Amino acid sequence: MQRVGIIAKPHAPGLADLLRRLLPWLRQRRFEVFLDAEAAAATGVAPGHPRAALPALVDWLLVLGGDGTLLSAARLLEAHDVPLLGVNLGSLGFLTETAVDELFTRLTRVCEGDYVLQERMRLKATICRNGERLEQPAVLNDVVINKGALARIITLETYVDDLYLTHYRADGLIVATPTGSTAYAMAAGGPIIHPAMRACILSPICPHTLSHRPLVLPDTVKIEVILQTPNEDVLVTLDGQVGIPLYHRDVVEIVKAERPIKLIRTTKRERYFRILRTKLKWGEAVRTRPED
């Protein structure tokens, strides 16, 4: 864990000041530091590397930004077993749960080996078109099939493990991991699933048939979705950041990715419920037991 890569959100508030404190701190402790181009630009002096090249150079990644920055970093790790530590530089994140004011305390624990690696499942999507298989990067949150702004309701013929499920007539369909259950899938009415669960969620977006409800499936299934609506503007989006056009009779095949992502956790107790309460603004009554 002596070679650390730093991936940063460009123009994040306080990034330059944080890096001016962080880089000497790491180097004093004999870490070899590799900066991505955005992080290097914020320092004004340090050389940078292409972001895609970092996973092959380092033992772990320090991600400075928000959940979106961490999601984009995670897509670089399909062929690399490199864990991530996310540091939140904006509003509270579900994935980047380390706050700036506790960063150096967390890093000290990493130096001492006082941390655990928490695995999060990912999804792998492949677009099958005219006999060709177009593999897409693994995603941590979700694979979404959705219509464009001016498109009509689309029809999605859906199979689970080669068994017919239904024809969704809807604005789209979300296939989400437990990690992604608190993202777009939640906004579409899906359940919140603890990230340790081995499951995936199938959530239609604004279905025409009101009895079409979100469906929780084992993470071992293969999901196939066939676009049955011609001449419409339809996309497959990966973690809300990458979009691929989808055409009539294209098949989107979704399975669990072979390699999970690993997040570095340095707290002894799970913070997940605290993050849920804060992020979702759940009310709190007076507790009978104090929180650690």
What's residue 96's pLDDT?
A: 80
> Among 45, 87, 12, 53, which Cα is nearest to 264's?
87
Amino acid at residue number 246: L
Residue 150 has pLDDT above 70, yes or no: yes
Specify the DSSP class assigned to residue 54: G
What's residue 35's pLDDT?
A: 92
Tell me how far apart the alpha carbons of residues 122 and 238 are, in angstroms, rounded to a whole number: 11
Give residues with Cβ within 8 angstroms of 228, minimum separation 6: 154, 155, 156, 157, 167, 248, 249
CA distances from 65 to 85, 194, 266 (A): 11, 23, 18
Tally of residues, the chain: 292
What's residue 286's pLDDT?
A: 63
- pLDDT band for 292, please (50, 70, 90 cuts): low
Of 132 and 15, more confident: 132
Tell me how far apart the alpha carbons of residues 167 and 156 are, in angstroms, rounded to a whole number: 5
Residue 116 has pLDDT above 80, yes or no: yes
- pLDDT band for 201, please (50, 70, 90 cuts): very high
Residue 162 has pLDDT above 70, yes or no: yes
Q: Is 67 a catalytic residue?
A: yes
Mean pLDDT for the chain? 90
Mean pLDDT, residues 54-63: 94
Give residues with Cβ within 8 angstroms of 97, minimum separation 6: 86, 88, 271, 275
Domains annotated for the chain, with CATH where assigned, are 3-120+260-279 (3.40.50.10330), 123-256 (2.60.200.30)
Instruction: Give the burial class of 128: count Cβ atoms within 10 A of its Cβ; 0-12 exposed, 13-18 middle, 19 or more buried.
Output: middle
What's residue 242's pLDDT?
A: 92
What's residue 37's pLDDT?
A: 87
Active-site residue identified among 36, 67, 171, 250: 67
Q: What is the pTM of this model?
A: 0.90
What's residue 290's pLDDT?
A: 65
Task: Look up tokens 């897409």; give the residue.
Answer: 136
- pLDDT, tens only, 85-103: 999 887 667 788 788 888 9
C-beta of residue 184 within 8 angstroms of C-beta of residue 176:
yes
Residue 57 has pLDDT above 90, yes or no: yes
- pLDDT band for 287, please (50, 70, 90 cuts): low
Q: What is the dihedral of CA 102, 103, 107, 108, to 10 degrees?
A: -40
- pLDDT, tens only, 163-197: 999 999 999 999 999 999 999 999 999 999 999 89
- pLDDT band for 119, please (50, 70, 90 cuts): very high
Residue 44 has pLDDT above 90, yes or no: no
CA atoms within 13 A on the CB side of 122: 25
Packing angle, helices 15-28 and 103-111, rounded to 10: 20
What's residue 268's pLDDT?
A: 59
| DSSP, residue by residue, 211-273 | T---EEEETT--EEEEE---S--EEEEETTTEEEEE-TT-EEEEEE-SS-EEEEE--SS--HH
Residue 237 has pLDDT above 90, yes or no: yes
Give residues with Cβ within 8 angstroms of 239, minimum separation 6: 71, 72, 74, 75, 139, 140, 141, 142, 180
Mean pLDDT, residues 153-161: 97
Task: Look up tokens 């695995």; give the residue.
Answer: 119
Tell me how far apart the alpha carbons of residues 137 and 126 are, in angstroms, rounded to a whole number: 9
What's residue 47's pLDDT?
A: 77
Helix (H) or strand (E) holding 185: helix 184-187
> Among 114, 160, 113, which Cα is nearest to 254's?
160
